[in-house]
Amino acid sequence: MPISVPIRVPTSAKRNEVSIMSGDTTIKDAGTASGAGTVKNVIDVTDVHAGYVSGVNILNGCNLTVAPGEFVGIIGPNGAGKSTLLKAVLGMVSIRSGEVKLENEVITGKKAHELVERGVGFVPQTKNVFPSLTVQENLEMGCYLKPSRFKDRLSYVVDLFPRLGERIDFRAGALSGGERQMVAMGRALMLDPSVLLLDEPSAGLSPALQDQCFVQCRKVNQSGVAILMVEQNARRCLQVVHRGYVLDHGTNAYTGTGRGLLADPNVIALYLGTLAKSTGGH
C-alpha cells in the first residue's frame, strides 16, 4: 500500500510532500527556495578551469551558485566533471583559472581542512565511514575540531536520523548501506556546516534505499543546510532539488529548476534517457 510521508518544509522552501510507493517512489518536485537570490550566496563558482594532470582540464569554464538553504543538484554523463567540480569547491583539485567563493569570500586554492573549519561539509562517494568504529565514535570524529559541541550536535543528528540513535553502539561496518550513508551524512553535519557537498549519495544502494537516501537529503536541507549534490540518478535528483546543473565535457550544458529540467525536451532527449540506462533505469 502507498505510504505518504509528509516532510516539514522551512520558510526557505515551498511546502512539499514525499510519497513512497511500494515498488516505485515518486518524490514530488521540490520547487524553488523562496530565499534564493535575496542574500549573498553560500557558494559561487565562476569560470573555473581545473584538472588533475598538467595541461589537461576536466572542467572547462564551469559556473555555479548555491544560495542559503538551497538544494542544488549536478547531473551529467560519466566523465562530465561532476565530482571534479565538487572537489574544486573543496580544494581537492588544482584550479588553473576562475574563482570559488564561500559566502562572498574567495576560497580558491584553500585546503579542504580549512574549508571544513569554515562551514563546508563533505560526504565522499566511497570510504565515507570508519567501519571499525561505532556509530557514536564516527560522529565524534566529525566533531573533532569542536569537541565541546558534541552533545548538542549529536542530539541534532539523532533527531534527523533516529535510526542512528538505535544503532549508536553498533560498529559502522556492521550496518546496512543505507545506515552507513546516514552515518556519513551525520558525521559531516557534526560541525554545523552552512553547506553540505554530497558526491553520489545513492551510489551502490538498492532502489528502495536510494529513495530513502533522497528523502534523508531533503530532511537535511529542510533543517536549514544548503546542499550541493552530484548524482547519477538524474530523475530522482531533479525531483528533489530546487535547481539543477547539467554538465557535459566539463562545461554547463543546461541550468534550471529541477521541474524545468525534468520537462525540458533537450535534457530528456540528450541526457535523461542515457542517464536512466546507465543507472539501470531508476
DSSP structural state of residue 174: G
More reliable by pLDDT, 251 or 282: 251
More reliable by pLDDT, 78 or 136: 136
Residue 37: band (very low, low, confident or very high) from pLDDT cuts 50, 70, 90: very low
Could you give the count of Cα atoms lying within 13 Å of 111 in the half-sphere of its Cβ?
Answer: 2
The 10s digit of each residue's pLDDT in 173-193 is 999 999 999 999 999 999 999
The 10s digit of each residue's pLDDT in 110-139 is 999 999 999 999 999 888 999 999 999 999
Mean pLDDT estimate for the chain: 85
Q: What distance lies between CA 18 and its chain's CA centroid?
A: 18
Strand order in the sheet with 17-21: 3-6, 17-21, 24-27
Q: Is the model's pLDDT at 28 over the cut of 70?
A: no
The 10s digit of each residue's pLDDT in 259-268 is 999 999 999 9
Give me the amino acid identity at 40: K
**Who's near 149: CB < 8 A, 6+ residues apart?**
143, 190, 191, 192
DSSP structural state of residue 149: G
Q: Which runs of E-coded beta strand occur in 212-272?
A: 226-230, 243-248, 251-257
Give me the pLDDT at residue 126, please. Answer: 85
Give me the pLDDT at residue 30, please. Answer: 58
For residue 20, what is the enclosing H or E element? strand 17-21
Beta bridge partners of 121: 196
CB atoms within 10 A of CB 212: 21
| 14: alpha, beta or left? (left if phi > 0; alpha if psi -120 to 50) | beta
What's the pTM value of the predicted model, to 2 decimals?
0.83
Give me the amino acid identity at 107: I
The 10s digit of each residue's pLDDT in 223-281 is 999 999 999 899 999 999 999 999 999 999 999 999 999 999 999 988 887 554 444 44
| Residue from 2, 15, 3, 4 nearest 222 by CA | 15
Task: Enter the C-alpha cell of residue 140.
Answer: 565524534
Give me the amino acid identity at 98: G
In order, the DSSP letters of 96-137 are EEEEEEETTEE-TT--HHHHHHTTEEEE-SSS-S-TTSBHHH
Q: Is the model's pLDDT at 16 over the cut of 60?
A: no
